[in-house]
Amino acid sequence: MKSGLQEAAQEITAILRKHDIAGVVILGNKTHSDFVLELTPTWSCAKMEGEFLRIKCNSALYPDAAERKAVLERTAGMLMGVLDCKRSIDAGILSIVKVLDSKLGITHTATREQ
């Protein structure tokens, strides 16, 4: 990431981890966009393995069946909450982009920084 996005992403990730919360944050500057995806709070069984989000919740990690069920429910709730928010945001932004496209004839090239 360039143009301040990487620094901002690192600060946001640090804040999410400090408060032990999950988050998805979309970042954009004048020329690029990117996002922060932090879905591994300590109360969740979601874990990152490289670029992949995995659910790790077996009897070796959580010997108590009730705790295993509870951590799975917390993780599922977190992921469903993220999806609910994303759907709402997508719908609102898409309606605005459609209006802009009808007036301006927008062409877009993905600008996510690597």
Q: Using alpha carbons, list the distances in angstroms from residue 104 to 31, 97, 98, 107.
A: 18, 10, 10, 9
pLDDT cut 90: percent of the chain above it = 68
Find the range with the poorest average confidence among 7-11, 36-40, 106-110.
106-110
Q: What is the pLDDT averaged over residues 63-85?
A: 96
In tens, the pLDDT along 49-60 reads 988 999 999 999
- Give the per-residue pLDDT at 1: 45
- Give the per-residue pLDDT at 112: 62
Decide if 61 contacts 49 (C-beta within 8 A). Answer: no
Q: Domain map of the chain by residue range?
A: 5-104
Q: What is the pLDDT averaged over residues 33-40?
A: 92
Alpha-carbon gap, residue 84 to 25, rounded angstroms: 14
The alpha carbon of residue 96 and the mean position of all alpha carbons in its chain are separated, in whole angstroms, by 22
Average pLDDT taken over every residue of the chain = 90
The one-character DSSP state at 61 is T
Question: Is the model's pLDDT at 113 over the cut of 60?
Answer: no
